[in-house]
Amino acid sequence: MMRFKIVSDSSADLTAFSAVPFASVPLKITTSEAEFVDNAELDVSDMIGRLEKYSGRSGSACPNVNDWLDAFADAENIFCVTITSGLSGSYNSACIAANEYLQAHPERHVYVIDTLSTGPESAILIEKLGQLILAGKSFDEIVAEVKRYQNTTHLIFALESLHNLANNGRVNRVVGKITGLLGIRIVGKASLQGTLEITNKVRGAEKTLAEILKNMEQTGYNGGKVRIHHCENRTSAESLCNRLLQKFPKAEIIISTTRALCSFYAERGGLLVGYEGACKKGEA
Ligand code: X90
């Protein structure tokens, strides 16, 4: 396999990926009292509980250039997957790392993918990369195919609080104030620019699921792959899964939990849904 490697930041919520060599580079959640490194050793539920009890400032930090270079290690063909450049500096530091790596090793290859998304949509892209590598495709073929594929993958989210997003300047403060009201959920999607695009606000778990399903079908979901990442909300994740299976019995759906970065921003109750749908722009 010509020493292929997939290197992702921890926003994809994958601590491990068994198909091919893989490394996850952690983002960090910081408060004035603690630093939570988003790696496999971290107890995410414990972090969520501690952050809820803490009332001071909290924020996040993306990987730096050396973090990325360490993860590239001595691979020859690297696919590097980052959280959206619309909300984080992770893509930028990965690109700098890639340039340095290629200067030191001109015969090797690095392709940095700006997911313009996070969580389950990133996970779907990583799964695709894994399949293409295992299928024995060349580096250039994989780049072309994953670009086409990325035009068909989507992210929808439902959040009970925008507190941490607003406090860290990732959504407008006025929008941030909408939540915190009992039972109100914000439903939205990753925009084409990789920012939060709020599509609706709804009240109650049932209306939230209906809104997610409506958005999925409007963006061409038709029974393909779905990845649901939840923050301490298995019940809603399973309801969504069941509703999808009623309509699309052959859908391949996997539920998993958000790691630290997505948990910090999606907050307790948050649902992130990555799926295959129609082309986002132009033709595939
Ligand atoms: O560089 C950093 O410190 C990381 C900043 C990340 C900021 C946003 C993370 C959002 C996570 C929230 C809902 C999904 C929004 C996706 C829009 C593209 C999850």
* Domains of the chain, earliest start first: 4-27+62-150 (3.40.50.10440), 153-276 (3.30.1180.10)
Query: What percentage of the chain exceeds 70 in pLDDT?
Result: 95
Confidence of residue 19 (pLDDT cuts 50, 70, 90): confident
Say if residues 195 and 87 touch (Cβ distance below 8 Å): yes
Say if residues 10 and 79 touch (Cβ distance below 8 Å): no
**Alpha-carbon span 94 to 113, nearest angstrom:** 9
- Residue 33's pLDDT is 93
Relative orientation angle of helices 119-134 and 139-150, to the nearest 10 degrees? 150
Range 135-142 average pLDDT? 97
194 ligand 1 Cβ < 6 A: yes
User: Please, what is the average pLDDT of the chain?
Assistant: 95
Query: What percentage of the chain exceeds 90 in pLDDT?
Result: 92
Alpha-carbon distances, residue 217 vs 195, 213, 273 (angstroms): 21, 6, 13
Angle at 228 between CA 83 and CA 117, to 5 degrees: 20
118 ligand 1 Cβ < 6 A: yes
Residue 70 CB coordination number (10 Å)? 14
Atom of ligand 1 nearest to the CA of 59: 3
Atom 12 (ligand 1): residue with closest C-alpha? 266
198 ligand 1 Cβ < 6 A: no
Relative orientation angle of helices 90-104 and 65-72, to the nearest 10 degrees? 50
Tokens of 197: 């695009």
Q: Residue 248 CA to chain centroid, in angstroms?
A: 24
**Alpha-carbon span 15 to 8, nearest angstrom:** 10
Atom 1 (ligand 1): residue with closest C-alpha? 88
**Alpha-carbon span 179 to 267, nearest angstrom:** 12
**Alpha-carbon span 89 to 87, nearest angstrom:** 7
Counting ligand 1 atoms within 8 A of each CB, the residue from 60, 121, 259, 273 with the most, and so the one to mutate, is 60
**Alpha-carbon span 143 to 129, nearest angstrom:** 9
Q: Is the pLDDT of residue 284 over 60?
A: no
Which residue is listed with tokens 């921890």?
Answer: 10
Nearest to 284 by CA among 156, 192, 147: 147
Q: Is the pLDDT of residue 179 over 90?
A: no
- Residue 25's pLDDT is 98
Q: Is the pLDDT of residue 191 over 60?
A: yes
Q: Is the pLDDT of residue 264 over 60?
A: yes
Say if residues 69 and 104 touch (Cβ distance below 8 Å): no
Strand, helix or coil at 140?
helix
Tokens of 55: 């009332």
220 ligand 1 Cβ < 6 A: no
Atom of ligand 1 nearest to the CA of 60: 3
Q: Cα(159) to centroid of ligand 1, in Å?
A: 12
Indicate the pTM of the whole model: 0.97
Q: What is the pLDDT of residues 53-97, one digit of tens each?
A: 999 999 999 999 999 999 999 999 999 999 999 999 999 999 999
Strand, helix or coil at 39?
coil
